[in-house]
Structure 1
């Protein structure tokens, strides 16, 4: 049973270009469905990497940004453990 998938114009255009490039390189006509199936198979085979691609990317802070962040922190001289945190949060 076929299901429709909505694509924006840019994605649809890239899918069509990919389909055309496959035909040029291989001499075979392939359907967009076949291209999408292959893409899903490839993503599924390396799903950990594919899933990771959806995580927010975070840029490491440079030294100045790290210093600015830590500028306001003060060492109280007292070591804090989980019980201290629980006491502060939950009373």
Structure 2
């Protein structure tokens, strides 16, 4: 099943440039559909980085935000290890 995908002229031009470069360097003619499918498969391997590229603003906290976060933390005086956490979470 084939579905049309709308894209702006700049994206279409870049896709055509990539298509031409693949043909020039490999001698293989690929369709834009094949090219888009391969690009999607490539992105799936780094999905979280790709998704993060659409976020607004910075993913890093400022020093002030880190300080505010740490102000809300308290030490219970009890050392907790992975086994304790597993026991609490999973019984």
Question: Given the two structures, how large is their TM-score scaled by the length of structure 2?
Answer: 0.62
Shift of 1:51: 0.6
Task: Give 1:29-68 correspondences, 5 Å limit.
Answer: 29-58=29-58
Structure 2 unaligned blocks of 5 or more: 65-91
C-alpha distance in structure 1 between counterparts of 2:42 and 2:4, whole Å: 20
Equivalent residue pairs, number: 65
Shift of 1:57: 3.1
C-alpha distance in structure 2 between counterparts of 1:51 and 1:40, whole Å: 13
Residues 27-86 of structure 1 deviation map (CA, whole Å, 9 limit, x = unaligned): 10000001100000011111011111111133x8xxxxx8xxxxxxxxxxxxxxxxxxxx
Shift of 1:16: 0.2
Q: Pairwise CA RMSD of aligned residues? A: 2.5
Structure 1 unaligned blocks of 5 or more: 61-65, 67-91
Task: Give 1:1-91 correspondences, 5 Å limit.
Answer: 1-58=1-58
C-alpha distance in structure 1 between counterparts of 2:20 and 2:57, whole Å: 32
